A and B are shown apart, each in its own frame.
Chain A
Amino acid sequence: MNGAEQVAIEARKQDIRSRWLLSAPALVIIFVAAIGPLFVMLLYSFMVKGDYGDVKPWEFSLDGWTSVFFQRDIFDDTLGLADAHISIIWRSIQLSFFTTILTLILGFPTAYFIATRPPHTREIWVFLVTIPFWTNLLIRTFAMQQVIRNEGLLNNALIWLGIIKSPLQIIYTDTANLLGMTYVYLPLMVLPLYASIEKLDFRLVEAGYDLYATRFQVLRKIVIPLVKPGIIAGSILVFIPSLGAYVIPRVLGGGKNMMLGNLIEMQFGAGRNWPLGAAMSITLMIIVMVALIVYVRNASRGGSGHV
């Protein structure tokens, strides 16, 4: 082994060392802020619940996990399905799904409109879309409540116009949850869609028209396949927070129309069942992960049409 080789090896070692050093802050954040808490939650979900909340340290049990989907009969101690939990989980998935669809239907034309304005006006429109973020979520949700409650803006207006005689019961229903979430999460759909559509080469749209495609065919065969990354990003950004929504169902859905977020909160609060809360949180994460994998797989397949 000669000197030059030795120097090269030394330099490579140095290089590896400095690479680790440089990525250390990121690694610390990932471990302390993301993986650490997750691990704590996983640990808590397998412990025995404390009498006044918290857990009995280092006493392990599967009760937390079994009570996510099952409940013990108070009389004969047999396990039955926890209908309440399952219906809340199912409602959360359904509402999040429809919220995603609704924001996509409303957000796509909005984003397309913005992306086809002259460049300097685009910025103004994007700015307008982000304005709701300036207001606290809670306040926006209460504002929504004022609009849709029985003596609210919408019902009063409809009654005044003579379209309906008695107020529509919107508040404290799933419709209220859906409306609230669609309103709150719409910008999260519009922005990634806009970013994608803005990059679209509109000469391709012209080429489509030139090759005898109708407006609808241009949209379906050219625009949508090409802005698919934006559709995927927007859907993910809307679906995930929808699934864990807490404030919106609390204010607009009332007690009857709980979602997963409220159920989890209950376990850490009044329910005093931290292991169950932890197990539910992880269940939520698993649902999100499965949904993402299924969605992204389906979306990236069939990327090209067939002639």
Chain B
Amino acid sequence: MTESRTTAAHGGAIGLHGIKKWFGNFQAVDNVTLDIRPNEFFTLLGPSGCGKTTLLRMIAGFEMPTEGQVLLDGSDISGLLPNQRPVNTVFQNYALFPHLTVAENIGFGLKMLGRPKAEITSVVNDMLKLVHLDGRGHNPVTQLSGGQQQRVALARALAPRPKVLLLDEPLSALDLKLRKSMQIELKRLQLETGITFVFVTHDQEEALTMSDRIAVMSAGTVRQVGSPWDIYDRPAERFVADFIGETNFLSADVVSVADNRARVRLSSGAEISASFPADVTPNGSVTVVVRPEHARAGAPTGTSALRGVVHDIVYLGTDTHVHVRLDDGTAFMVRQQNARSGHCGFSKGDTVGIDFSDDVAQILRD
């Protein structure tokens, strides 16, 4: 069993075409079009109320889109009931059946599909091994810890070998340490089973750690889709840059555009090179973002890109955040790794020059 699982690719492709969803007067999802590839770990990331869970529930079949289509491997499944879709869900609070044992929970889907008893028993045993719960099959689920319940929920959803596994904030109820280990566990399960995972979370770190691709959502719309690197290093707009990680916003004027790079002039007068989203041609005044760890603070020199005065220093153990008030009044943060023990080298009130690594500045859309 395990061998066939690792070799075969079972993942289905999900297509969401022009999905709109209204609940009364409230529009939860506004014209979402997404293509989720087979065997990928795809994350819907956004703040609460952005429509990510509604989107997931429409893939599962618990909600019907007001407009638009849900496709599985190219065929329209919009009209199918949840029990007719080869898609399973790991619910936020697990939703384990409290009156059944661990094994009965895991075997539930296969039993409903009318599989023979022997097959159910063997799949259940495989699943128990897969989630490290061997020998716990006869325990009542109510006696398990949160982390163990989580793994039963995963095994229960994986047992019928769905084409797509939907995960609705499955780690949010766990404590930090358990959450970290479950992140690795989830990624391992996804690679081992080859099933397409669609993961919903509001935790950006979770999304960056596990995903092959991320869709960042806000107010019912998809703001940007891309790899964790794209999303973090090449945010297309202010919401994405702001929601994921910490960042510095600088106003600048476009000087010239060549290929996929632009020269922009910062308020200090310095010119730097910046990338921009593929679907825009930057001109006039734009906003440029630079991540705090991509900037360096040092003694001001003639060639420094920016100049300012240190007004706060925050020591975080691994890093130190140096908060600088730039000459034009903008706040700017530099994150320095504490490679050496001791003081970061600045004190409040120092005048510093700031430089960037190459290729780190990104121009936002509009």
Contacts and interface: CB of A to CB of B under 8 A. Distances in A.
Interface in A200-223: 201, 203-204, 206-214, 217, 221-222
B89 A207 contact: yes
Interface stretch (B90-98, B199-207, B232-240, B315-323): B90-98
A307 interface: yes
Given A226-B98, A304-B104, A307-B120, A210 B88 contact: yes
A211 B88 contact: yes
Contacts of A207: 89, 91, 95-97
Contacts of A211: 83, 88, 108-109, 112, 156-157, 160
B160 A206 contact: no
A306 interface: yes
A47 B142 CA distance: 55
A85 B352 CA distance: 106
A226 B99 contact: yes
A25 interface: no
B33 interface: no
B82 interface: yes
B120 A214 contact: no
B329 to A, nearest CB: 51
B34 to A, nearest CB: 21
Interface string B130-168: 000000000000000000000000001100100000000
A39 B120 CA distance: 58
A201 B95 CA distance: 8
A275 B93 CA distance: 61
Contacts of A204: 95, 97-98
Contact of A306 (B83, B104, B124): B104
B89 A212 contact: no
A225 interface: yes
A225 B60 CA distance: 25
A13 to B, nearest CB: 40
A212 B99 contact: no
A211 B88 CA distance: 7
Contacts of A303: 99
B124 A307 contact: yes
A118 interface: no
Interface string B60-104: 111000000000000000000111000111010101111111011
A305 interface: yes
B111 A307 contact: yes
Contact of A213 (B83, B88, B157): B83
A305 B100 CA distance: 7
Contacts of A208: 97, 108, 112
Nearest to B92: A203
A231 B111 CA distance: 26
B99 A304 contact: yes
A18 B294 CA distance: 73
B97 A222 contact: yes
Interface string B99-119: 111011001110111000000
Contacts of A212: 83, 109, 112-113, 160
Contact of B82 (A209, A217, A304, A307): A209
A227 to B, nearest CB: 11
B99 A210 contact: no
A201 B91 CA distance: 12
B101 A304 contact: yes
Contacts of A217: 112
Nearest to A215: B83
A34 B124 CA distance: 54
A211 B160 CA distance: 8
Interface string A74-104: 0000000000000000000000000000000
A203 B156 CA distance: 15
B112 A213 contact: yes
Of the listed residues A207, A208, A214, the one surrounded by the most CB atoms of chain B closer than 10 A to its CB is: A207
Nearest to B153: A207
Of the listed residues A204, A210, A226, A307, the one surrounded by the most CB atoms of chain B closer than 10 A to its CB is: A210
B89 A307 contact: no
Contacts of B124: 307
Contacts of A213: 83, 108, 112
Given A217-B112, A307-B120, A307-B124, A210 B89 contact: yes
A204 B61 CA distance: 15
A221 B108 CA distance: 10
A104 B233 CA distance: 62
Contacts of A209: 61-62, 81-83
B142 to A, nearest CB: 11
A10 to B, nearest CB: 42
A305 B101 CA distance: 9
A74 B108 CA distance: 67
A206 B81 CA distance: 11
A225 B99 CA distance: 7
Contact of A307 (B96, B99, B103, B157): B103
A203 B90 CA distance: 11
A203 B101 contact: no
B244 to A, nearest CB: 30
B95 A206 contact: yes
Given A204-B97, A206-B62, A210-B83, 5 more contacts: A203-B91, A206-B82, A210-B82, A226-B98, A304-B104
Interface of A: 201, 203-204, 206-214, 217, 221-222, 225-226, 303-307
29 contacts: A203-B95, A204-B97, A204-B98, A206-B95, A207-B89, A207-B95, A207-B96, A208-B97, A209-B61, A209-B62, A209-B81, A209-B83, A210-B61, A210-B88, A211-B156, A211-B160, A212-B83, A212-B112, A212-B113, A221-B112, A225-B99, A226-B98, A304-B101, A304-B104, A305-B104, A306-B104, A307-B104, A307-B107, A307-B121
Q: Which 7 A-B pairs have the closest CB atoms?
A: A211-B109, A307-B107, A207-B95, A212-B112, A209-B82, A203-B95, A307-B104
